[in-house]
Structure 1
């Protein structure tokens, strides 16, 4: 029986038979990291259905249940609260599920904003060059001279002072997406610019110019698809960085309010009680944050290696 041609295969068959999927199956660390990340993402976004308590519903909270240890504690543990409760009587397991959803949402949306700004700036700077390139890249260099967290803290403090703490809390997720997105776009801009400088000298770009295509079409329809490999690699790293930035801002009181828990705000809440013996309030969210960032970084490392032809040229 003759084998099917590539055009006759379904998209899933093409994925399974691709070299990238073969490399993925050959890397046990990448497979394990993907499985853990998938479980965490599904659990986070299914929080309303699997969490035993809604931490946003004040009617379900009882202050008498505050600071209860995990359920396996023989003296004070309560079987209703697997990982114990926080200072407001909220189930820590439920707050972790809801907090993970907030952290992932901010991380993914912030990276999308970073990519949008950085790709536009990098394409423009690399394609047109000259004064435009110098102006845009000097702006990126100035921002990179400061730490990302410092830029985020400054922007967050200015926004809070301008809008007020109450209004900021109402739109905290949107504000954090904007703050983290604006703080980290230079990473994309420099990466895309380097790729564009190499791509614009190739023959297909000259052919597009000869055919009379406008610069905008050449940049986004022809050059951009050929720069997607480094963009995909850097995106995985930036998602982890965005989640860490959100956690740091929330820990410092410049991120999510305590009434809307994220992993960072949960760690911040528990830090105030850790020396009084209530270690579980910050310990469990901290472990989840470390695991989440770790598996994303492991996938990023695998993607970087998988797209490097020098490492797999013998396959």
Structure 2
């Protein structure tokens, strides 16, 4: 007599291959194109030190006599500078690659800080309730009453006034990550709190309490994994918002200095030269910024539709 054997559970790769997420992605051409463009832009930004024609941080490679050269398709261009040069004589292609990397670092770093603060505060507010919930949510309401850009401008101006412009320039990237991150955490906190309120009344939470598990373990090991879907959706939108906030702050003079290229500082550096005919100094980085934000938002819209259980179809 043979003992029947149970089939081995499918591997993670098999579950992912047969998942609705991958099935939906294969059917959505816009999502595929957006992801491809995003991967290319991220790869180009990461590999900027190796694929850029010049180093915009190296003063020895900057020729002021070659300033404001047009892109290769316009008469008077230099074949060495494919996208032309800016007012300082820097190769515009190189500055865009380095600037995209800085903008992505600030965007991802700020969203990580937002998620860290928002998830922790949202978990505590939703699970503990009472005065903790009232205090954290009133704090979030106060911050949400101001626009993100306004909060970032106020904090950025205070930091510059206290530490000085030179110090701000030396630590511009981490300071902008903190400024933009602190301005947007209520978005995560309110969303996580709503999810926790729906989860904490379920049976598995009651069972964890009966087993004597501590509140911290219940929140982070049991409730948090069931609230990840809205967090992922918010993160895609917030990355785009953080990149736009950095560009806006840099354009207003409260972000990255012109000597440290980001997409925002590049747009600002060429704004005064548009009417003189050197439109490419501003418009080309601006076009890269628009494409980057657009593909991130398109991926966020697709992810929101896929992770929405009301839209799930067999």
Q: Is TM-score (shorter-chain normalized) higher than 0.5?
A: yes
Query: In structure 2, what is the equivalent of residue 232 of structure 1?
Result: 232
Instruction: Report 1:275-294 matches (<5 A).
Output: 275-294=275-294
Paired residue for 2:72? 71
TM value normalised by structure 2: 0.96
**1:204 equivalent in structure 2:** 204
- 2:53 partner SS: coil
Q: Secondary structure at the match of 1:272?
A: helix
Q: Using the alignment, how far apart are the partners of 1:312 and 1:280 within structure 2?
A: 45
**1:143 partnered with 2:133:** no
What's 1:192 paired with? 192
Aligned twin of 2:87: 87
The superposition leaves residues 99-126 of structure 1 with CA deviations (integer Å, 9 ceiling, x where unpaired) of 0000000000100000000001000000
Q: CA deviation at 1:8?
A: 4.9
Partner of 1:312: 312
Q: After the TM superposition, which residues 155-304 of structure 1 pair with which residues of structure 2 at under 5 Å, given as runs? A: 155-304=155-304
- 1:291 Cα offset (Å): 0.3
**In the TM superposition, what is the alpha-carbon distance from 1:217 to its structure 2 partner?**
0.4
Tell me the TM-score normalized by structure 1.
0.96
What is the root-mean-square deviation in Å for CA atoms of aligned residues? 1.1
Aligned to 2:36: 35
What 5-or-longer segments of structure 1 have no aligned partner? none
Q: How many residues align?
A: 309
Contact persistence 1:6–1:14 (CA under 8 A): no
Q: Which residue matches 1:47? A: 48
Other structure's SS at 2:77 match = coil
- Structure 1: how far apart are the matches of 2:55 and 2:124? 46
Q: Structure 1 residue 5: deviation in Å?
A: 5.7
With over 3 angstroms needed to count, the CA separation of the structure-2 counterparts of 1:65 and 1:12, relative to structure 1, is farther
1:117–1:54: structure 2 CA closer, same or farther, 3 Å change rule? same
CA distance, structure 1, for counterparts of residue 174 and residue 250 of structure 2: 14
Deviation at 1:6, TM superposition (A): 6.5
Point out where structure 2 has 5 or more consecutive residues left out of the alignment.
Answer: 1-5
